[in-house]
A and B are shown apart, each in its own frame.
Chain A
Amino acid sequence: MNRIAERCTHLSAEEMGELLDQNQPADMTSARLHLATCTECAAELDGLRDTLALFRESASTFASQQLAGSRTIRGELPTSRRIAVSPQLIWAAAALVAVGVALPLRHHEQRPAVTARTTTAGSAAKTGESDQALMEDIDRDLSAGVPESLQPLASPAASSNAENQPTTIRKN
């Protein structure tokens, strides 16, 4: 009996998928024979192959267009120079830096008095002037009367005299 005539169904999705694959398995003889005689399946397979090729082309073209207009993805990734340094080397370098910093610091600690003595006369004078201004400010505040908003907190003994004395409200 003709093997081709025994097959009464068209190609299944699995058979279509296998036929679309270039590396087809050996047990596809029946499907290939059907394909040779069924114009409908042959046309569908050709159409599917063309459509999928266009599908791939559209995906590639669209992605290329989108990637060209997108922000730089590469810019936020680690650079090659940083990649070349392993964590172990980083720790080793850190240890060297720590040693290199510790030695000058130890030397610097032995000379604090020398640093203090070398303060210039100009900077000392400026410090004195600012201290004087600060003291004058404090004196001014202490001598000012109780603001109106704080009247109830003032001494009861002075409350009767406060009404007759002018109040100084500090404006910041």
Chain B
Amino acid sequence: MTPEHIQTFSTALTMQHERAATPFDDLDSVVALYQPRIFRFLLANLRDRDAAETLTQETFLRAWTSRTSFRADCSVSTWLLRIALNLVRDHTRTNRFRFWKKAAAAAVDADEIASTLSSQDAGPETRMLAREQVARVWQVVGRLSERQRSVFLLRFVEELEIPEIAQATGMPVGTVKSHLYRALAAVRTQSAGAAKEAR
């Protein structure tokens, strides 16, 4: 094989590579842009920092290894969330997860999350009431089914629209709405009960 043939072959491969470029080729930028969001979703879903870290890394690794299957029929963030959702589903189905879930209600306490609220412009009593209310919501979310919790978090934390949630979860729009409204009903019931106790 002459040097000229090697150069032509290398050029042809480079051209082929350039045509198949995906947004995930620059993984540094993708991670920098979407890592906080993916980690936030996984942490809120699993309530386990170590698991969230591990699955966040796994999400980007899978996105990289399967980047050629990204067809741009959805946004990059939606595609990443889809991968993360699959990982959550696999994670929560293991026997080990079920064991530890029974052993501890939640690795991250609802009050711990709610205590991060600052609300500098509110009085101490108002802040305390707000934290208690948010902590109750976290408790309710922790008791939801995996699908209801994921849909709820995608809607009210990640602020995805219903069609985007349907794309990320692979569920029909009607099913997404059903899960969302059931989750919302649970939150409303908890809030209504707390309001009655306060009176």
* Residues of chain A having any CB pair with chain B under 8 Å: 12-14, 16-17, 20-21, 23, 44, 47-48, 51-52, 54-67, 70-71, 73-74, 76-80, 83-84, 86, 88-89, 92, 96, 99
Contacts and interface: CB of A to CB of B under 8 A. Distances in A.
Given A58-B114, A62-B43, A76-B57, 11 more contacts: A13-B184, A13-B188, A44-B191, A51-B187, A54-B119, A58-B117, A73-B53, A74-B31, A77-B61, A89-B10, A92-B6
A77 B60 contact: yes
Contacts of B112: 62
B43 A63 contact: yes
Nearest to B133: A51
Interface in B125-139: 130, 133-134, 137-138
Contact of A51 (B24, B157, B191): B191
B41 to A, nearest CB: 8
Contacts of A73: 31, 35, 39, 53, 56-57, 60
Interface stretch (B13-21, B72-80, B84-92, B94-102): B13-21
Contacts of B24: 83
B49 A66 contact: yes
B4 interface: no
Highest count of chain B CB atoms <10 Å: which of A21, A59, A65: A59
Contacts of A86: 13, 16-17, 20
Interface string B1-29: 10000100110011011001000111110
Interface of B: 1, 6, 9-10, 13-14, 16-17, 20, 24-28, 31-32, 35-36, 39-40, 43-44, 49, 52-53, 56-57, 60-61, 64, 108, 112-114, 116-119, 130, 133-134, 137-138, 153, 156-157, 159, 161-162, 177, 180-182, 184-185, 187-188, 191-192
Q: Is the interface of A mostly helix, strand, loop or mixed?
A: helix
9 A-B pairs with the lowest CB-CB distances in the bound complex, closest first: A63-B40, A13-B185, A61-B116, A86-B17, A88-B13, A13-B181, A80-B28, A62-B113, A14-B181
Nearest to A16: B184
A51 B113 CA distance: 14
Contact of B64 (A62, A70, A77): A77
Contact of A77 (B43, B57, B157, B185): B57
Contacts of A63: 36, 39-40, 43-44
A62 B20 CA distance: 38
Contacts of A92: 6, 9-10, 13
B140 to A, nearest CB: 10
